[in-house]
Amino acid sequence: MHTLAQLQSGELQGITRLQLSEQLTEFPKEILSLADSLEILDLSNNQLTTLPNEINQLSKLKIFFASNNPFTVFPDALAQCENLEMIGFKSCQIKQISENAFPPKLRWLILTDNQLETVPDTLGECNLMQKLALAGNKLTELPDNLSQMHNLELLRISANQLTKCPDQLLDLPKLAWFAFAGNPFCKSDLKIKSVPTVSSSDYTLENVLGQGASGVISKAHWNKAQTDFPQEIAVKVFKGEVTSDGYPEDELQACLKVGNHPSLVQSLAQVNEENHLALIMNLIPAHYKNLGLPPSLESCTRDTFPNGFSLSLEKINKMTSEMCNVFNHLHDNQVCHGDLYAHNTLFDNEANIIFGDFGAASMYHMLSTTQQQKIRTIEERALNHFIDDLMSVCEH
């Protein structure tokens, strides 16, 4: 994190990345003095509502973040930034986007948790777009010409007001990670009781094991001896609001619909109290570790791995076989995971895997047979990318 004082004093000359969060109400014009070097500009968590046209002087700017600012209109000024590839306006108040808002090289756009009721047709003309996040808005339809986005690989449209399945998206040739739950077109009245309901007072949370967009997972123990459950458990407490992937309730129902599988985190019970939604799960043995790391700004949609990480072909074959088995289990239960990645997978030294994180999962049993098959085909691409990514770290 940098300071406005540093910027104004000139000590930041030559930097490639600038991050300012000081309740700014206006764009600091001193940022323009970094035009010869600045590639990443992060002005998230301020009070900005507009951007100046002069921002196009930042000729090397590739990435711009402005999440958690009270913008109500997507700033047209960004369209003139000729090298801008990634834009993030998560959790703003954007209601309007003009036809001429998008820069020519845009390939990654985050508009999660805004107030959008429509998006312009020109979005479909962003033919370099690989990653598009529109979850948590008020969209009632999507432009037909999104069918032209032939490079789109990851799409989040969950938690909107879409009344019909956007068929124009289902034939996109590269789409692999797709989340669409929480829309009227896929509304489900299922209240799955495959696991018992317990009270949040029945257990005590201990240390945090991990957290994602939709909730926090902690180790926990039962307050009384149990005969039906292991004494030590993991509990995911959902955050309760819309996330980048959708609504917590949809995640919980998708988890329960899938049921049990040897390579999935096993659900044991649920908590469904007012303002408190939680899933009790088997505690994963401590010797399991993450198989991959999330995509980077450079890799965009593809997983990354630690430097020096490698796997034998034998282990890769075992992991891919288990993941294919998981894939078939999910889709036989008409659930699209939406986030089939190595970074959502744990593995042990014997190459056993445990797959989890259903934050982007969508049930699709209510769709037509043709639509169901296309959704399965979409996620099959993610499975193929998973295999390709593992082969990229194969020992030679």
HSE (side-chain half, CA atoms, 13 Å) at 144 = 0
Q: What does the pLDDT read at residue 244? A: 67
* pTM of the complete model: 0.94
Query: By C-alpha distance, which of 251, 248, 250, 227 is closest to 238?
Result: 248
Residues 171/177/181/184 CA torsion (nearest 10 deg)? -20
Q: Report the chain's terminal Cα–Cα distance, integer Å.
A: 41
User: Can you give the pLDDT at residue 279?
Assistant: 93
Report the distance separating Cα 361 and Cα 65, nearest Å.
26
Residues 37, 16: Cα–Cα separation, whole Å: 5
Contact 278, 235 (CB under 8 A): yes
Domains of the chain by start residue, with CATH: 200-282 (3.30.200.20), 289-391 (1.10.510.10)
Treating both helix axes as pointing N-terminal to C-terminal, what angle do 313-332 and 369-391 enclose, rounded to 10 degrees?
170
Angle CA(284)–CA(287)–CA(292) in degrees, nearest 5? 85
Please say whether the beta carbons of 384 and 301 come within 8 A.
no
Is 318 assigned to a binding site? no
Residue indicated by tokens 């490698």 = 310
Taking only the tens of pLDDT, the chain with its 396 residues reads: 999 999 999 999 999 999 999 999 999 999 999 999 999 999 999 999 999 999 999 999 999 999 999 999 999 999 999 999 999 999 999 999 999 999 999 999 999 999 999 999 999 999 999 999 999 999 999 999 999 999 999 999 999 999 999 999 999 999 999 999 999 999 987 777 778 999 999 999 999 998 877 889 999 999 998 888 999 999 999 986 777 677 888 888 899 899 999 999 999 999 988 888 999 999 999 999 999 999 998 999 999 999 999 999 999 999 999 999 999 999 999 999 999 999 999 999 999 999 988 989 999 999 999 999 999 999 999 999 999 999 999 997
Give kind and range of the element (H or E) at residue 283: none
Q: What pLDDT, on the 0 to 100 scale, is given for residue 242?
A: 75
Q: Which residues pair with 277 in a beta bridge?
A: 272
| Tokens at 262, concatenated | 């040897």
CA distance 69 to 89: 8
Amino acid at 298: E
- Close Cβ partners of 21 (under 8 Å, ≥ 6 residues apart): 1, 43, 44, 45, 46
Give residue 236's pLDDT.
94
